[in-house]
Amino acid sequence: MPLWAEKGQFPLDGLSWLPRGLILAALGVLAALGQAPIDLWWMTLLALLLGFALIPCTGSARAFWHGWALGVGYFAVSLRWIVSPFLVHIEKDGWMAPFALILMAGGFALFWGAAAVATQRLTRWHWLGLPLALTLAEALRALILTGFPWALLGHALVPTPYAQLAAYGGPFLLTVLLAGVAAAIATRRLLIAGPAVVVTVAAWPLLMLPAAPDVAEDAPTVRLIQPNAPQEQKWDPVMSQVFFERMLDYTHADAAPDLVVWPESAIAMLLNYADDTLEQMSEAARGSPVIVGVNREENGLYYNSFVHLERGGQIAGFYDKQHLVPFGEYIPGGDLLHQVGIRGFGSSYGGGFTAGSGQRTLNIPGIGAIRPLICYEGIFAEEVGGTDVRPAAMILITNDAWFGKDAGPFQHLAQARLRAIEQGLPMVRVANTGVSAMIDAQGRIRGKIALNTAGYLDVALPPAAPPTVYSRFGDWPLLALLILAMTVLTWRTRQIKVDPVQTGA
C-alpha cells in the first residue's frame, strides 16, 4: 500500500516538480543532522518518516526524482567536509571544492533514487520494500568501485544504545532498523506503527550499557601522541621539525608507558632515510615499543606504512595500507596508463601509492596481536575482520587534518567507535590533529585528546570482549536476508497482480 494513503493520494501533487524536490531536499538536510558532530539521531528518524511519507508510490520517474532529492539534501550536509582537502592550498585547488561536493551529493543520491524506483516497481508493500531497498542501495554504495561507506544512515545511531546491535549485523543492521521504523510510522496505521514504536522504545533501556568498568591494574598503558600539525604546515621543512620535536618531548614525558603511538605520516621523510630519526624516537621512548606512520619506498614503489619500532630504533614489523583513497593516494587506472607510456602521479611508479598485501596483524610485546589500520581503512566494516588470529586490539593511525575542523574528524571518530562494537575489540585511535581516543570494546570512549589540540594521553588498554556475531560472519548473512525479503515481496506482488480474484478479471 502507498505510504501516504490507501488511494494513493500524494500531498504534493498540486506542486510542480521543483517545489516538490526542494521540500524533499530540505528533509534530507534535516536527516543529515543525525550525523556527528550534531548527533540529533531523532531528527534523522523524523525527517525520514516525513520523507518516506512524501515519496510517491506511482510513476518511476516521479519516485526517482523524489528519492534523489531526499538523498541530495542528506549527502550535501553530511559530506560537507569533503571540500576541506581542496582548501588546504586554496589558491591552487579551491575552485574544485564546490564541484566535489556537488558531484558527491548528486552521485550518491542516485542510489536513493534507484531505491525509490525499485520499491515502486517491485513491491506492493512499500512500507516494507522502501527500507529494504534503501539499505541494499547503501550497501552497494559501500561496496562498488572500492566503496565509500561514509555517512550511512545507521551511523546516526552510534551515540545511542542501539549501536550495540552492530555487534550482530554491523552498520547495515542499524540502517535497516532506522529506515524500517521510519517507514512503519509513516504508514499512519496503528497495527504497523504501534508495534514499531513500542519495540523501539522498549529496546532503549535493554541495550543501555552500564558505567564502564575499571580496567585491570596490570592492563598495558598506551600513550597517544597528537602533535596537531595543520596540513598546510605538515610538510614545511621548518615546521615539520617543530612537530617532530614536539612528539619526541611527549614521548619522553613522565614514566614510560607500555606502548607509544604516533599518528599517520608523522615523519616528514621516507622510512628508507630515517635511521637516525627512528633511533631518536626509540631513545625518547626509553625502550617502550613505538608505532609510527611513515611513507616508504621499495623497488620504485611507494607505500603508506604503519611501522613497529623496538629498542634502538630497529624495525620489528610493518604494515602497508591496503585500501587506498581513490584520487587521493592513487588514480584508478593509473598503472594501466603507465604501461602505455602515460607516466605521472596516477601510477605506482609515478609518485602514487601502491596498496600493500600480506598478513594484517602485528605482534606488539606486552600487548599481543594487534590489527593495524591506516586512516581510510577504518571506515570499511567488512574489511577490518578476517585476520589470521583474533587480535587483542585495533590500532588506527590517521591524519584527519585533511577533513577540516567540523564534521569530518567527528564522523571518522564515530565510525571507529562502531568498528570497536562490531569486532568486540578496543580501538586505539591516534590522529595528527585529533580526535585521538581510546575506545573500549563496547564503543565507549575511555579517554581522548580534543580536536586541534597538541598533547599526549596515557590510558589503560581495555580488554577485548568475546568474538561477536559480526566478527565471525560479517555483512553477508544480513544482506542475504534483505535480498531474500525483497525477492519474496516482489514475487508476492506479482502473484497478486496476476490473480484474477485480486484483479477482478
| Euclidean distance between CA atoms 163 and 411, whole angstroms | 14
Q: Do 160 and 178 form a contact (C-beta atoms < 8 A)?
A: no
Total residue count of the chain as it appears in this document? 505
φ, ψ for residue 48, nearest 5 deg: -65, -40
Helices 126-143 and 97-122 pack at an angle, to 10 degrees, of: 140
| Euclidean distance between CA atoms 247 and 249, whole angstroms | 5
Indicate which residue of 57, 138, 234, 321 is catalytic: 321
Annotate 109-139 with DSSP letters as a single string: HHHHHHHHHHHHHH-S-HHHHHHHHHHHHHH
Q: Do 399 and 432 form a contact (C-beta atoms < 8 A)?
A: yes
Neighbours of 366 (CB within 10 A): 13
The dihedral built from the CA positions of residue 49, 51, 54 and 60, taken in this order, carries a sign that is negative
Residue 57 is among the residues annotated as catalytic for this protein = no
How far CA 33 is from CA of 43, 71, 93, 166, 450, in Å, comes to 7, 13, 28, 21, 21
Neighbours of 137 (CB within 10 A): 22
Q: Do 166 and 173 form a contact (C-beta atoms < 8 A)?
A: yes
Query: By C-alpha distance, which of 2, 31, 197, 42 is closest to 112?
Result: 31
Indicate which residue of 57, 138, 234, 264 is catalytic: 264
Three-class HEC string of 398-443: ECHHHHCCCHHHHHHHHHHHHHHHHHCCCEEEEECCCCEEEECCCC
Residue 264 is among the residues annotated as catalytic for this protein = yes
E strands along 288-376, which residues? 290-298, 301-310, 314-320, 362-364, 368-374
| Euclidean distance between CA atoms 99 and 355, whole angstroms | 28
Q: Do 435 and 416 form a contact (C-beta atoms < 8 A)?
A: no
| Euclidean distance between CA atoms 73 and 96, whole angstroms | 20
How far CA 20 is from CA of 23, 26, 186, 265, 269, in Å, comes to 5, 10, 18, 47, 54
Rg (CA), the chain: 24
Query: By C-alpha distance, which of 308, 295, 321, 318 is closest to 260?
Result: 308
Indicate which residue of 57, 234, 375, 422 is catalytic: 375
Neighbours of 82 (CB within 10 A): 21
| Euclidean distance between CA atoms 184 and 130, whole angstroms | 10
The set of catalytic residues is 264, 321, 375
